[in-house]
Structure 1
Amino acid sequence: MWSDLSDFAKTAERAYRRDVWTTQPEYVEVWLEKDALSGIFEDVLSKYGVTLNVGRGFDGWDSIHNAGDRYRENGGVTILYFGDFDPSGEDMVRSLRERIGEYIEITDDPFDFSGDVNVEIVKCALTMSDIKRYQLPPDFAKKTDTRAAKFIARHGDVSVELDALPADVLRNRLITEVESRMDLKALAQVSAQEASERERLVKLLSAA
């Protein structure tokens, strides 16, 4: 509840956002395995208008259905995935593509990955390169994970959580990956228009 229109105007000002994707070359989302890191990601992504999906390994991602609808609406998506370097984390790209595909296949409007709707899933971190470059302390892979044998055969008996990557490195990686896929000039124009419209909105509501 609000005390008056002026109080409501402040809420409206904070809530108002323009859709940045109508002027962008592609639609981008970030999927994050670690809920504990969501604060860092939200702070970075806010100004870009990028949706953040936070899951918890293979038991998460309960928003797959809504995600599929967004991807159809936007004509495709590039998903930037950030997760642990372990059997489950390395298999998540395949798992995500499979689950999104299964959901879309049962709709009246099939989600054809080879057709008009393009879905690209990129694991941005954590990688073996990160582990070596930043000398991250490894742990052993969980042998109870059904994907462990294949993972160990390919990468060795090593497991490192995304949290081990220094926060500044993770933040810069996120910024670089997002900005490399966006038209920053178009984003700035939309942001300027949004700021102007937000100011007008506050004046209109406050004067009522």
Structure 2
Amino acid sequence: MSAPTLNPTYQACSIKRTRRSKSEVTDLKQVIYDIVEADQPMTVRQIFYQLVQRGLIEKSEAQYQQTVVRLLTSMRVAGELPFAWIVDHSRRRLVTSTYTSMTQAVEDTARFYRKSALREAPAYVEIWVEKDALSGIMWDVTSVYDVPLLSSKGMPSLTFLHTTAEQMKIEWRYRDRPTYLYQFGDHDPTGALIPKTIEARLREFCPDVEFTMERVALTEAQITEYRLPTRPTKREGNRHAKGFEGESVELDALHPRTLKAMVTEVIERHIPAAALTALRVAEESEREHLRAWGARFSAGGAA
């Protein structure tokens, strides 16, 4: 189905108004379509912040629920917006992988065969993100380089941290390479504390391992540079708020393209694009060998 027709003179209606006219709703739907089409897939929260930055809606939970969520629901149900353009990684769908034959299994193996770009790198790298909702956006980058993406869902658990510590020990003791951890999170009391907690625990678990912990986003400089919308910092009952100054900003407010570029930049410090290209050429050659073996297997009637 084609996109809605946009009135190029569309202006944000007054934030005090409780209802938009039919024409204003049509125009807003077109803006939403254009935003998502340019950088899909996106989360609902990311679309919300893009509309806020354009001055089309106010930054409030009411506008998030009653305007953004409502319109995205109606647009997808009506076929005006592809479902695949909106991602929700806060909910999981678990399905067992099965095959109808051994031939199909070989074909799938060839299709998904990957050589590890990270294994060939001089350092072990992990990307950490505070919000699971953004993991799909960042996975678009980390999966290309075969770099692990860890969603802490807020403050990471002790078990989650111990798993990384054990991997770091293996990398240092048996592969003689250091670890680099790059963390992305909200600019708020808890978000600012998360990377400090990660580093403190990992140094406790593996004091002899060489590693670097870096908070990539969000920083105050980025908030200023990208003119990100802020919100009042929750202080009452928040034990993490002591010592945190200023207002808070959600990582979701970053444009998806900007977020992906930041992830790419830190990974390519260790896995250059040229090295990745050479690896993928070798990978395709080996994939063809698998396909040829599968064809001979099928021709022999063993399937």
What TM-score, normalized by structure 2, do the two folds share?
0.60
Out of 175, 186, 194, the residue aligned to residue 264 of structure 2 is 175
1:82-161 alignment, distance < 5 Å: 82-102=184-204, 104=205, 111-112=206-207, 115=208, 117-143=209-235, 144-152=237-245, 156=246, 158-161=247-250
Cα drift, residue 188 of structure 1 = 2.6
Cα drift, residue 64 of structure 1 = 2.0
Q: Gaps (5+ residues) in structure 1?
A: 105-110
Identity rate, percent = 31
Q: Provide the residue aligned with 1:107 in structure 2.
A: none
Secondary structure of 1:151's counterpart equals: coil
Q: Provide the residue aligned with 2:170 in structure 1.
A: 73
Q: Distance in 2 between matches of 1:181 and 1:34?
A: 24
Q: Provide the residue aligned with 1:12 in structure 2.
A: 109
**Does 1:203 find its partner at 2:296?**
no
Cα drift, residue 17 of structure 1 = 2.3
Q: Relative to total residues, which structure has the larger strand share, 1 or 2? A: 1
Kept in 1, the 8 Å contact 2:186–2:218? The answer is yes
Q: Deviations over 1:55-90 (max 9, x none)?
A: 111155742222112111222310110100011111
Secondary structure of 2:258's counterpart equals: helix
Q: Distance in 2 between matches of 1:43 and 1:10?
A: 24
Q: Distance in 2 between matches of 1:178 and 1:61?
A: 25
Kept in 1, the 8 Å contact 2:130–2:155? The answer is no
Task: Read off the aligned partner of 2:179 and give its amino acid letter.
Answer: V
Q: Distance in 2 between matches of 1:22 and 1:45?
A: 14
The count of corresponding residues between Structure 1 and Structure 2 is: 194
Q: Distance in 2 between matches of 1:62 and 1:25?
A: 27
Secondary structure of 1:28's counterpart equals: strand
Q: Distance in 1 between matches of 2:162 and 2:114?
A: 24
Task: Read off the aligned partner of 1:32 and give its amino acid letter.
Answer: V
Task: Read off the aligned partner of 2:238 and give its amino acid letter.
Answer: D
Q: Distance in 2 between matches of 1:134 and 1:184?
A: 26
* Residue 14 to residue 89, structure 1, CA distance change in 2 (3 Å): farther
CA RMSD of aligned residues (A): 1.8
Q: Distance in 2 between matches of 1:185 and 1:166?
A: 26
**Does 1:25 find its partner at 2:119?**
no
Q: Distance in 1 between matches of 2:166 and 2:107?
A: 31
Q: Which structure: larger Rg?
A: 2
Secondary structure of 1:23's counterpart equals: coil
Q: Gaps (5+ residues) in structure 2?
A: 1-97, 173-177, 298-303
Kept in 2, the 8 Å contact 1:79–1:120? The answer is yes
Q: Distance in 2 between matches of 1:57 and 1:97?
A: 15
Kept in 1, the 8 Å contact 2:187–2:248? The answer is yes
Q: Provide the residue aligned with 2:283 in structure 1.
A: 194
Cα drift, residue 46 of structure 1 = 1.4
